[in-house]
């Protein structure tokens, strides 16, 4: 993905962003053998050779991962309470990655991790409305009117949910499994939505994030996004 040249230099540890701009203005930066002095120039660091004072820089390699997060892990890079972090499941990844958005401590399922800030910002942007698909095991069986409330949107104190897609996957006497697709990611949103219609969530799993589905990926395991998955997820960037 193309980035501003000064940002590439800063991410590679050559200099601060401002100092990198000065290097460019002084004509000390080459891209594929040509000197670049325009600060707005953008390049994909994985596709070009960048040199400063004749020395090639090692551009940061972007990685994009899909993790099947188990319950009992927190989706942050640190935790004052000492709870387990999702990054502890990625011991064999040398790059320092961070979660794109969050899954609650007690929620399982699809979580994207990357070291590409622009990618993360793009797919989290409210204008994207990327669908998040969940399977919620809830107490009782919501009736047609309760399901219509989920589908049309609910007022949850500080915000109103956008219309959701809902279908019951399996029923039992005291509980049922519901698939719900939402298009935003407020804190504990799915649990709060079901609470608002009088049904407590007993277990929650995110089975898909946009076009990315867990498939046979086991809890605690991860895989890299394919180029096609990356392009499809990123293609509608605002």
What are the residue numbers of the active site?
Answer: 104
92, 224 Cβ separation under 8 angstroms? no
Identify the CA nearest to 131 among candidates 157, 148, 110: 110
Q: Are 15 and 9 in contact (CB under 8 A)?
A: yes
Per 3-state DSSP, the chain is made up of helix, strand and coil in percentages (nearest 5) of 25, 30, 45
CA dihedral (131, 136, 141, 142) in degrees, to 10, reads -30
Distance between CA atoms of residues 219 and 108, nearest Å: 8
The burial class, CB within 10 Å (0-12 / 13-18 / 19+), for 143 is exposed
Q: How far is CA 229 from the centre of its chain?
A: 13
> Are 122 and 235 contacting, i.e. CB atoms less than 8 angstroms apart?
no
Q: Which of 109, 126, 112 is nearest to 180 (CA)?
A: 109
Which residues, at least 6 apart from 68, have a Cβ–Cβ distance to it below 8 Å?
Answer: 108, 109, 110, 111, 214, 217, 218, 219, 220, 221, 222
């Amino acid at each position: 993905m193309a980035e501003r040249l000064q940002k590439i230099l800063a991410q590679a540890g050559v200099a601060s962003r401002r100092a990198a701009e000065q290097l460019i203005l002084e004509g000390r930066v080459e891209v594929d053998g040509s000197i670049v002095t325009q600060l707005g120039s953008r390049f994909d660091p994985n596709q070009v050779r960048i040199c400063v004072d004749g020395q090639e820089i090692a551009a940061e390699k972007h990685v994009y991962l899909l993790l099947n997060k188990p319950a009992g892990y927190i989706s942050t890079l640190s935790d004052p309470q000492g709870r387990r972090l999702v990054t502890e499941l990625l011991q064999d990844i040398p790059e320092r990655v961070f979660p794109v958005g969050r899954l609650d401590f007690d929620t399982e399922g699809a979580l994207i991790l990357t070291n590409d800030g622009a990618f993360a910002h793009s797919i989290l942007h409210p204008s994207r409305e990327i669908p998040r698909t969940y399977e919620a095991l809830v107490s009782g069986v919501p009736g047609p009117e309760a399901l219509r409330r989920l589908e049309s949107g609910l007022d949850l104190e500080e915000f109103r949910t956008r219309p959701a897609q809902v279908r019951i996957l399996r029923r039992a006497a005291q509980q049922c499994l519901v698939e719900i697709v939402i298009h935003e990611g407020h804190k504990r949103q799915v649990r709060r939505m079901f609470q608002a219609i009088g049904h407590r969530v007993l277990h929650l799993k995110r089975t898909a994030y946009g076009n990315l589905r867990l498939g046979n990926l086991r809890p605690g395991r991860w895989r890299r996004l394919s180029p096609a998955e990356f392009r499809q997820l990123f293609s509608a960037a605002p």
